[in-house]
Structure 1
Amino acid sequence: MKRQAQIDQLLRQLDAHRDAYLDTFQRAHEALAQSLASAATTAGQSGTPVPSLPPRSMSREQRSPRPSVTLSEAQTRFSTGLSTLQASSASKATGEESEDDEDENLYVQQPLEHRLFEHDGLRDHLRSHKWTDAGRIILNGIINSPARMQQPTLFPANSGRAEDRSHLSHHQVYDVGPDGAPLQVELPESESGPSNALHIWNSIKEINSPKKARRAVGRITIVREPSPILFGAIHYVHNPTFDVDGLFRSLVVPGASSASFNGAFDDDPRRQRSFIFNFEYFTLIGSTCQPQPWQMADRDVSDSYQIKITRCSSVIALSLGGDPIRKVANHSRRAKNRYGYAYDPFGPWQVLSVQCYPDWKSNTHVHDSTKHYVNGVEAFLITLLSEFRDAQARFDAMYHEVTKLITPPADFMFEQKIRDALQFEDADFTYTRRYFWAYQTLGIMNESIKAMIDAYDDNLTDDVWEGKHHTIWPLKEEETQRSQYYKKKLANLRKKFDVEMDRLRAVVRENSERRDEIRGLREELFSGTSIQESRKSVENSVTTIQQGHNIKLLTLVSIFFLPLTFVTSVLGMTNMPTEPHYWMFGIVTATVRVPFFVPVGSLNTTKGMHFWRSRTAGTFTAICAFFKWLVTCERPSTTIYDGPSLRLRRWSSTQKADGHSKVEEDGNRLGVVEPASPVMDKAAASMIARMWNEERQRKIASTLDV
């Protein structure tokens, strides 16, 4: 660690010497030019020719001296050799950024507006701003703590470890000049501050300082894992340019990756000129990292098989300065604003990237002086491309961890215990929960990747890449040299984006294939466990049968002694005779036990059970028939005939002793009641009903005789 600090110090000294050399070279060039000018005036009067000074044409490495590197960059450059210390000369080897004959007019020339933010202004801003719910969540412990707001400095004042973990925050701030080269903002030790939070604050609080000879046309601000007070500083500095409240909402509120490029018709002028891409997915928590309090995360993983992950998010925003170049009509039927404004992609610009990834795996070599950005759009897209690459790397890391989670150990084929553990579930359902978690996690990862791809495809369309979109980065004149150069740059960037999109789609396919494997493992585990449970059920059935036999034996013994208990209870009464006649005990015992044991013994067998069941059913049927016979009494139906309709009737009765009886009568009598039909006699009737019928027939016969 000490050696790395020495290397970093030497590199900074080398940068300082190089800057001093270039500054001396510039002053010498200007002094020589003035001397030659005065000599030319004198020589012009005398007619003596004056030698001309070569034009001051600074190469790229002269226009864009190599910025001071951080410690991580120093490690990389030390391992690759001192030749990488040259700044822009390295770009000539790439072939992409090596056009030395480029004119600076191809790049943005309008400088950024100078702004300076003070510490007291930050305090007033934190107190007076109307914070949204997301802002209050992020700034918890700052805006709701009067004691903290009354402290002399809002930032940690001491170097080293800070209570709010701001010592782990990382930042990169670049000023982009008229040549398009991003130079990292480095402060002298006297201005940086003792703590890391103060150093970040001092780096972002002033934009395009007039003290610098090189005016900035654009600024790139990247802050990784900011502490709450640094979030407040970001809000204070960038809220005039961006809708930072909306950016905070994108970081805090759970959702999916999204993009907001169509703000031209918004009421807020900041949103009209802003283009935002929000990343949201999940990542592995670093070994010594800690998620933000508002991030969903596994903070205490008790299960040994679970992977420690967290929800992560970041926002990348571009704001274009200057005046609008076009007034655009809004053709939407539900539009609130009839018109919007489009801004020139070659105006002054700012790019803001806030990253909340507790893994310290973000790529820190995105911007350097070897690159030259034609405008803010290119800088924004390169920053966005880097985020896509980081996301793809994080998805790969999670995929490998899930694969290790479900993959059997190397000695799986040789250890019986391991095979049994994977084939049959244990009492804690270890592998069922493991497969369920892995299956669902890969599914959520796929949804996150698809949302990122959809956000890219829906917003960065062909018209945007070609500069023909009516609100997103439109070109004033497509045939100019600057426009053609810009479109060439975007064409190269688009190829790189297409490569990253293909890689992300490959990750989706790999996750889907792994999910199919997990589903198969889960089904095999279910089958093996089901077979094991079936065998256990058979064993339990045998045990149950044995227990039934034991209960049966106990019941038989109880039944054997039950009659004896009854007899002894009866014969043991005090009012029984006291003479010892044991024959009475034997007779009573036999009389009680024989009728008792016969049905009980027969009921103990299947045949006996069926026998007594049938006999019992027959007995109940007979009893029911007897009661029906007692209560059933059916009256015969009668019909009254009047005189004209009376005719000869004949009926026979089967109730007489000889079995036949015929009676024929003709008459014309009114009110004669027809006798009952013989069918009643044939029907099954009770004795009472039969006697009543015979008596009625006798009365009818006597009436006919009269």
Structure 2
Amino acid sequence: MSADELLQQLEEQRAAFLALEQRVHDALKQEKQDAEGNDACPGTPNLAAIGRQSTVSIAEPLRKATSGIASLMQTGSALSVDSDDEDDESYYVQTPLPKRTLAEDKLREYLRTYDWSPAGQKILENIIHNGRLKHPVLFHKPSRANDKAHYAHYEVFDVSTDGSPLSITGDDEESISKSAGFWNAFREVNQDEEKSTTVGRIIVAQEPSPIIFGALHFAMNEHFDMDEIYRHLVESEITSAFPHRAFDEDPRRQRTFTFCFEYFTIIGDERKPMPWQSSDKQVGESQSHIPLTRCSSVVALALLGDPIKKVRNTSRRTNAKTKHGQVYDPFSPWIVLNVQACPDWESSADVHDSSKHYVNGPEAFLQTVLMEFRDARRRYEEIYRRITKLITPPPDFIFDEELRDRRLFEDSNFTFTRGYFWAHQTLGSINDSIKAMIDAYEDTFTEEVWEGKHKTLWPLMDEEMPRNDHFRRKAYLLRKELEREMRKLRTQIEENNARRGEIRDLRDQLFSGTSVLESRKSVELAEITILQGHNVKLLTLVNIFFLPLTFVTSVFGMTNMPTEPHFWPFGITMVCVCVPFLLLIGSLNTTKGYEFWKTRCKALFKTIGWFIRFMSGFLGRRKDRKKAAKEAEAAAAAAAEKHTETTEDPEDTAYREFPFERTNTVLSNFDELGDVSTPGIEMEKESSSGQGDGESQNGARPKKGWWHTGPLRGIHRRMQGHNRLDSQTRVTQVV
């Protein structure tokens, strides 16, 4: 036995001892008060007030006697308080469940005619669409395993008036299948009068087959909202509880309490998730991931008794349809339904046994919820161990250099990067799931619920009743167990966070090592590229050496060349072509030579550009001069015509007779008609119209054009003189 189990047993014994001591103290106090009231001497305390009197009967040799601590040590039950309380049937539910029996024909008709919800259609797809309902037998034979019956686990416990659960095994599994035996076990309630009365029933279905899903819906839909339960199983949600529904419109929800678990688990060997479950497509385990699947479970409690009181709906919503809610007695007849969809081998199968005594339905419900928390924690611990094994190097890592290099540098498939990323994100999702579990527990089971003072959730109307006190003490032990699981889950979160930090460090080291390796490879590739460049350069030089030779040989190889056998022309040509070309190439291969030829080429290209601009401007000026001459001729003709229209005098006649003497007069008249000079002359005027020593009117030196620089200055001046002379000549001719 481990240390935790010993501490747990010691704590339970201590709680039982303290409870028994308190009751003895209360009994002695009550006995003293009764003696003083009767004015009599106090005698031996009446231990009947403690509960049921502890006696050892010969007729009942198997009944546990003596104190509660002895009972704890003998039975080892985690939830028993003392044997006297366990044997007192007044502490347990006494109202039996309603009698009921279900037929297979009714089940077939129900499966065919019920309006299934989307979640129900997904779960029962194989039953509804594959023609199974037309088969004369709904449940498979034992030899058939296509309904996954060999993976499923079913349990039905009938709880009698003494609180002990009795397992109903149904028929022999060798003659019928598990599904048929499970159906026969829960389809009847209180039909055998020879057996003890059933006040409560616990139904556990782990990995049920589709036909069992349909049978459970048919049998339990009267007490539970099975569409809601199946929706919680199918849809991806977080762990949540739905206990406070006294004001719901559906009467079934008013009397039921549901706790939905949602987490992850490793796909078990030879197990396969259901079609509607989210799971890893790659079932086999690899170096970068572990096959996981979504795991869902629902624990629901239904109280079938009559309501004990009404509560007013104090919601501020004006459209609330339910003004008053129903509150049910926690000691009513009850049913606990537990449906699990976890494709692994980790589910607990020994939670409910005859050693336990359930006071009422809430205790059995809490015990089942405790089992689910333990299973979830155990599954998460297994995932944590597998992830740790996945990312942790093998023991030979310290001594094997090859293993170290494999962990330090990434391979072509990015194996470790994939594994680290998957592990880091998976642990983060697990932490979120665990936090949702803890929040659901703490938000649901508050201090008022544990003390029985909540208005709608399991209220204890008379706190002085012995059975209420007994229930509170057993709930106290369950609360300790649940809080212990919460602490372990919080510890699991801390371990997951620490492992995530380690994974980040490994990932950073992997990235660092891979980056360094890639940098070195880049340098090596650069060196190889440089060597290839040198080889290409050498090959280019060889080609350049043979290029002029090829040119010369091609020229002398033409058919129209002289055929005399004299090689000196060929030699001279080859030297004149090859030597300058090779010298030019050699000069370009040096830095100074390259800069020299670069400067000279730039100057040459600039001169060529200037020459092109000069020629384009010169041609443009010639066109402008011709145009100006035509305009001048037209203006002169117009002026002469105008002059002839005026009155003639002798002087005009003389002028016409002697035209050469009127040149100056015509020129003066021609100046009045406007400037007929060419653009070149205008530019000369503008440039020569400065004040004093060639400065402009504003005092700044005139901007020189490209024609003022270099040896072109004289050419420009001569062209200006020719343009001026040409203009005067044309004017004289016109006159």
Q: Which amino acid aligns with 1:137?
A: K
Would the alpha carbon gap of residues 595 and 61 (structure 1) be closer, same or farther in structure 2, given more than 3 Å must change? farther
Match of 1:249 in 2: 231
Query: Which stretch has the larger CA shift, 257-266 or 206-215?
Result: 206-215
Give the conservation status (yes or no) of the 8 Å contact 1:97–1:371: no
Aligned equivalent of 2:544, options 539, 559, 562: 559
Equivalence map 1:66-145=2 (5 Å): 90-91=74-75, 96-101=80-85, 103-145=88-130
Name the CA distance, whole Å, in 1 between partners of 2:390 and 2:509: 17
- Deviation, 1:683, is 3.8
Match of 1:261 in 2: 243
Secondary structure of residue in 2 paired with 1:543: helix
Q: Give 5+ residue unaligned stretches, structure 1.
A: 1-53, 64-86, 640-648, 656-674, 700-706
Name the CA distance, whole Å, in 2 between partners of 1:343 and 1:94: 28
- Deviation, 1:614, is 2.7
Secondary structure of residue in 2 paired with 1:281: strand
Q: Over aligned residue pairs, what C-alpha RMSD do you find? A: 3.3
Match of 1:327 in 2: 311
Secondary structure of residue in 2 paired with 1:166: coil
- Check if 1:496 corresponds to 2:496: no
Query: Which stretch has the larger CA shift, 342-351 or 676-685?
Result: 676-685
Give the conservation status (yes or no) of the 8 Å contact 1:220–1:350: yes
Match of 2:213 in 1: 231
- Deviation, 1:227, is 0.9
- Check if 1:276 corresponds to 2:258: yes
Give the conservation status (yes or no) of the 8 Å contact 1:285–1:359: yes
Match of 1:453 in 2: 438
Equivalence map 1:494-643=2 (5 Å): 494-626=479-611, 631=617
Secondary structure of residue in 1 paired with 2:519: helix
- Deviation, 1:192, is 9.1
Offset from partner CA, 1:502-534 (integer Å, 9 cap, x none): 000100100110111111111111111111111
Name the CA distance, whole Å, in 1 between partners of 2:350 and 2:275: 28
Q: Which amino acid aligns with 1:155?
A: F
- Check if 1:221 corresponds to 2:203: yes
Match of 2:409 in 1: 424
Aligned equivalent of 1:436, options 409, 416, 421: 421
Name the CA distance, whole Å, in 2 between partners of 1:650 and 1:580: 74
Secondary structure of residue in 1 paired with 2:300: strand
Aligned equivalent of 1:486, options 471, 485, 489: 471
Aligned equivalent of 1:311, options 264, 286, 294: 294
Give the conservation status (yes or no) of the 8 Å contact 1:107–1:179: yes
- Deviation, 1:618, is 3.1
Aligned equivalent of 1:156, options 140, 146, 162: 140
Q: Which amino acid aligns with 2:312?
A: V
Name the CA distance, whole Å, in 1 between partners of 2:467 and 2:178: 41
Would the alpha carbon gap of residues 207 and 229 (structure 1) be closer, same or farther in structure 2, given more than 3 Å must change? same
Name the CA distance, whole Å, in 2 between partners of 1:690 and 1:457: 108
TM-score, normalisation: structure 2: 0.74
- Check if 1:384 corresponds to 2:369: yes
Name the CA distance, whole Å, in 2 between partners of 1:334 and 1:363: 46
TM-score, normalisation: structure 1: 0.77
Match of 1:346 in 2: 331
Name the CA distance, whole Å, in 1 between partners of 2:413 and 2:153: 43
Name the CA distance, whole Å, in 1 between partners of 2:718 and 2:445: 106
- Deviation, 1:434, is 1.6
Would the alpha carbon gap of residues 285 and 575 (structure 1) be closer, same or farther in structure 2, given more than 3 Å must change? same
Name the CA distance, whole Å, in 2 between partners of 1:257 and 1:442: 17
Name the CA distance, whole Å, in 2 between partners of 1:654 and 1:188: 130
- Deviation, 1:595, is 3.0
Q: Which amino acid aligns with 2:82?
A: S
- Deviation, 1:619, is 3.0
Offset from partner CA, 1:309-345 (integer Å, 9 cap, x none): 2221111001111222223314142653242322221
Name the CA distance, whole Å, in 2 between partners of 1:681 and 1:89: 121
Aligned equivalent of 1:652, options 692, 710, 719: 692
Query: Which stretch has the larger CA shift, 604-613 or 627-636?
Result: 627-636
Match of 2:183 in 1: 201
- Deviation, 1:559, is 1.1
Match of 1:29 in 2: none
- Deviation, 1:369, is 2.0
Q: Which amino acid aligns with 2:84?
A: D
Aligned equivalent of 1:369, options 346, 354, 364: 354
Give the conservation status (yes or no) of the 8 Å contact 1:61–1:89: no
Name the CA distance, whole Å, in 2 between partners of 1:370 and 1:676: 123
Name the CA distance, whole Å, in 2 between partners of 1:60 and 1:275: 40
Name the CA distance, whole Å, in 2 between partners of 1:293 and 1:59: 54
Name the CA distance, whole Å, in 2 between partners of 1:302 and 1:183: 40
Give the conservation status (yes or no) of the 8 Å contact 2:264–2:294: yes
Name the CA distance, whole Å, in 1 between partners of 2:351 and 2:115: 35
Give the conservation status (yes or no) of the 8 Å contact 1:88–1:369: no
Structure of higher CA gyration radius: 2
Name the CA distance, whole Å, in 2 between partners of 1:322 and 1:354: 23
Query: Which stretch has the larger CA shift, 106-115 or 283-292?
Result: 283-292
| Corresponding pairs, count | 591
Name the CA distance, whole Å, in 2 between partners of 1:299 and 1:491: 44
Name the CA distance, whole Å, in 2 between partners of 1:149 and 1:166: 18
Give the conservation status (yes or no) of the 8 Å contact 2:161–2:198: yes
Give the conservation status (yes or no) of the 8 Å contact 2:297–2:340: yes
Secondary structure of residue in 2 paired with 1:167: coil
Name the CA distance, whole Å, in 1 between partners of 2:73 and 2:139: 40
Name the CA distance, whole Å, in 2 between partners of 1:238 and 1:689: 118
Would the alpha carbon gap of residues 629 and 123 (structure 1) be closer, same or farther in structure 2, given more than 3 Å must change? same
Would the alpha carbon gap of residues 609 and 682 (structure 1) be closer, same or farther in structure 2, given more than 3 Å must change? closer
Query: Which stretch has the larger CA shift, 194-203 or 296-305?
Result: 296-305
Give the conservation status (yes or no) of the 8 Å contact 1:322–1:343: yes
Name the CA distance, whole Å, in 1 between partners of 2:126 and 2:147: 10
- Deviation, 1:557, is 1.2
Match of 2:321 in 1: 337
Give the conservation status (yes or no) of the 8 Å contact 2:327–2:456: yes
Give the conservation status (yes or no) of the 8 Å contact 1:161–1:167: no
Query: Which stretch has the larger CA shift, 173-182 or 464-473?
Result: 464-473
Query: Which stretch has the larger CA shift, 298-307 or 421-430?
Result: 298-307
- Deviation, 1:104, is 2.4
Give the conservation status (yes or no) of the 8 Å contact 1:192–1:203: no
- Deviation, 1:478, is 3.1
Offset from partner CA, 1:640-666 (integer Å, 9 cap, x none): xxxxxxxxx9942459xxxxxxxxxxx
Name the CA distance, whole Å, in 1 between partners of 2:518 and 2:59: 82
Name the CA distance, whole Å, in 1 between partners of 2:464 and 2:509: 65
- Check if 1:290 corresponds to 2:272: yes
Give the conservation status (yes or no) of the 8 Å contact 1:114–1:210: no
Q: Which amino acid aligns with 2:167?
A: Q
Would the alpha carbon gap of residues 541 and 127 (structure 1) be closer, same or farther in structure 2, given more than 3 Å must change? same
Match of 2:661 in 1: none
- Deviation, 1:690, is 9.1
Match of 1:28 in 2: none
Q: Which amino acid aligns with 1:582?
A: F
